[in-house]
Amino acid sequence: MSFLFIGCQWFTKDSLVSFSKAFSSKPSVLEKSLKRTERMKEACGAKCVLFLLFVQTWLVENTGHTSPGKPVLLRCRSPEKETFACWWQPGSDGGLSTNYSLYYTMEGSREDAVHECPDYKTAGLNSCYFNKTYTSLWITYTISVVAQNALGSKSSDPMFVDVAYIVQPHTPENISAELRTQDQKPYLMVKWDPPHKADTKSGWITLQYEIRLKPEKGAEWESHYAGQQKQFNVFSLHPGEVYLVQVRCKPDHGFWSEWSATTYIEIPDYFRPRDTSVWILIAVLSVCIFLILAWTVAIKCNSIKSYLLPPVPGPKIIGFDTQLLKSGKSEDMLNALGCQGFPPTSDCEDLLVEFLEVDDSDEQKLVMNEGEDDLEGRVKSSGNEVDNDSGRGSCDSHTLLLEVSNSSTKTYAQVGGKSNNEGSVRLSRKSSTNGKLLCFETAGEKTNTWPTANSSFLLARQSSCHNISKIHREACSLGNTTDMHGNISSAQSKSKEYRELHSTVSGDPKTWFADEKHAPLLPFKSAEYVEVRKLNQQSMLILKPKTEGGHKSVPPEFIGQEYTKVSGVISDRVLLLLRDTGAQGSSDTQEGKNQAVHPSLQCQVGKMVGTFPASPALEGMQLAASGYVDTAALLQSF
């Protein structure tokens, strides 16, 4: 065995020598060694080779020494662009003590001017630190680390470094977070200083900053880029929480620093934006509710108004000119009425014989004239108010007329012509659920029917008092014309006047009618006529109630042939009516003029107010010395 061992060793030695010689690129020696190895091979054979290998591994296991592994240069960094340091990671040390050395060359110097690291300690383990004297900017360093042990050495891959591009500063310092308020909203003002080693004062380094913060219990950071400024304001804070704040910096072209140490700041809870928002919500809701109410009131304005302040109707007398009346010239006024010589002379007598037909049907059925169309006007109905103010007088009393409130009956009193050669004035009243319509139609003397004219009579809601002069005028004119019937256009043109007429009548025709509920008070339940007898010399409009037979609901007013006459007008508002008994008149008040919508034509001379009961059952009648009758009181008694 030992002979074999010696022999193999010699053999290996020889082979090694020969191999090494072979590698020294000498072909002749190679041939020789090859021949020799072949001979040796024959000698030792496979056993020798195996043995050799065994020996080698045994040697390695016992000692464990190899040449070192290849180190790796990790990074080089400069904190302030004046010095820099490099770190490496060692490879395996091969079991032997390995030392590492760093070598570098600088661009521009000679190729073989290799320098070694000046400082291995300052930057820590496996590092090399270059201080100011060894640092040159804008020069490429070629750095490599060599690991060396007894068995060999290994060199790392070189790293090319230009110090100007490897700057990674330290973290910013002196971070302060201050809570401030702006418009009662809290915000955070964060201030910091650059790292003390970085020279920003001289302009050597320019740093940009980034700040991040999060609530203590939050999951994610909220980052903000702050540019080159050294403070930053953070809004959008949640009160009552503790916030963590961090800052970092970066040079123009370089690496971001580490995040600084955390600064804690608590946002106190007394900033309450929620309260403000709650108050705002409440204010908005109340404004909305108010607007809705206002809108509702505006919509129902009219009905509310009529509920609260029922309009006072006025008389509707065609041809009655209130202005003339105001001017006090009765002559002119009467002339304007279309008749010469008021009190009317016999010329117009036939025209003045007009009939006030009051028709009140229960079934929404119009008392139709022949071919008469529906009158589509509406009259506002007021509530069932009873006029408590008895002093108001006949005309202004809103209870003078029948009130129909919410009655489904359509009643109307037509003032229109029938086949009455005398030209009847029909007081039409038509009511719907909402109110009443007071329509006036006057017919000419020779008119038989008045269909077309009727149809075109549309009353405005708040029709005001008639102009009696107009009525008369129309009546006269109508009487002169024979083409009343078929001429719609002319009728319409005249209807305008009638509309005016109607519109001038007080829009509260309920004053004409008593409440239907007070059945006995309804003077117009049936078609009644009031005959305007005359305008006598006393400037009175004589109304003659003309009853048709068979109407039981004839109010007492219309019983009999009684009529009242207008005794006079007081201050444009009041129509003085005289009872036929002579002793009574009606005193009027000025009440009705409160209706702004209704012009104060309610009781003027010549206007037809209505019929007044002549029954002695008028208990409430105030018998004034002047002979006035308070129709309000009259009606009240019913």
- Which residue ranges make up the site for another protein (CB under 8 A)? 81-82, 105, 107-108, 111, 132, 135-140, 142, 158, 160, 162, 164, 199-204, 206, 228, 252-253
Query: 259 near 209, Cβ under 8 Å?
Result: no
Q: Do 317 and 310 contact (CB within 8 A), yes or no?
A: no
Q: How far is the CB of 165 from another protein (least distance, A)?
A: 8
In the complex with another protein, which residue's Cβ is closer, 135 or 553? 135
CB nearer another protein, residue 192 or residue 513: 192
Cβ contact 531:543 at 8 Å: yes
Packing angle of the helix pair 488-504, 468-480 (nearest 10 deg): 160
Tell whether the torsion through CA atoms of 374, 379, 383 and 388 is positive or negative: negative
Residue 574 tokens, joined: 């009041």
The first and second tokens of residue 236, run together, are 């959008």
Residue with tokens 């000119």: 321
Q: How many C-beta neighbours within 10 Å does residue 35 have?
A: 11
Cβ-count burial of 277 within 10 angstroms (0-12 exposed, 13-18 middle, 19+ buried)?
Answer: exposed
Spell out where 405-524 has E strands: 425-431, 436-442
Q: How near is the Cβ of 254 to another protein at its closest, in Å? A: 11
Nearest approach, Cβ of residue 137 and another protein (Å): 5
We find the least distance from the C-beta atom of residue 168 to another protein, in angstroms, to be 16
Q: Minimum distance between the CB of residue 140 and another protein, rounded to whole angstroms?
A: 5
Nearer to another protein, 142 or 492 (CB): 142
Read off φ and ψ for residue 200, nearest 5 degrees: -95, -15
Give the residue among 567, 540, 402 at the shortest CA–CA distance from 468: 540
Nearer CB in complex with another protein: 106/368: 106
Minimum CB separation of residue 31 from another protein in Å reads: 38
Closest to another protein by CB, 221 vs 256, is 256
For another protein, the closer CB: 228 or 323 = 228
- At its nearest, how many Å lie between another protein and the CB of residue 74? 17
Residue 142 or 263 having the CB closest to another protein: 142
Residue 226 vs 318, nearer CB to another protein = 226
- The nearest distance, CB 258 to another protein, in angstroms, is 23
Place of tokens 């020996």: 55
Identify which of 525, 508, 513, 532 has the alpha carbon closest to the alpha carbon of residue 318. 532
d(CA 609, CA 543): 9
The minimum distance between CB 139 and another protein, in angstroms, equals 6
Smallest gap from Cβ 131 to another protein, in A, equals 11
Q: Of the two residues 253 and 552, which places its CB atom closer to another protein in the complex?
A: 253
Query: 149-177 burial by CB neighbour count: b if 16+ within 10 A, else e?
Result: beeeebebeebebebbebbbbbbbeebeb
Q: Which of 74, 116, 66 is nearest to 92 (CA)?
A: 66
Query: Which residue lies nearer to another protein by CB, 201 or 217?
Result: 201
Residue 181 burial by CB count (10 A; 0-12/13-18/19+): exposed, middle or buried? exposed
Q: Rounded to the nearest whole angstrom, what is the least distance from the CB of residue 85 to another protein in the complex? A: 16
| Minimum distance from residue 35 beta carbon to another protein (Å) | 43
Nearer to another protein (CB atom), residue 253 or residue 274: 253
Q: What whole-number distance in Å separates Cα of residue 446 and Cα of residue 164?
A: 120
When the beta carbons of 121 and 201 are compared against another protein, the nearer one is: 201
Please tell me what DSSP assigns to residue 31: H
Asked if residues 613 and 558 have their Cβ atoms less than 8 Å apart, the reply is yes
Backbone dihedral angles phi then psi of residue 192, each to the nearest 5 degrees:
-155, 170
Q: What DSSP assignment string belongs to 170-181?
A: ---EEEEEEEEE
In the bound state with another protein, the residue whose beta carbon lies nearer, of 49 and 139, is 139
Q: How far apart are the first and last CA of the chain?
A: 159
Nearest by Cα to 4 from 32, 40, 36, 28: 40
Beta strands in 285-360 (DSSP E): 354-355, 357-358
CB of 194 vs another protein, minimal distance in Å: 12
Rounded to 10 deg, the angle between the 301-308 and 273-299 helix axes is 70
User: What radius of gyration do the chain's Cα atoms show?
Assistant: 61
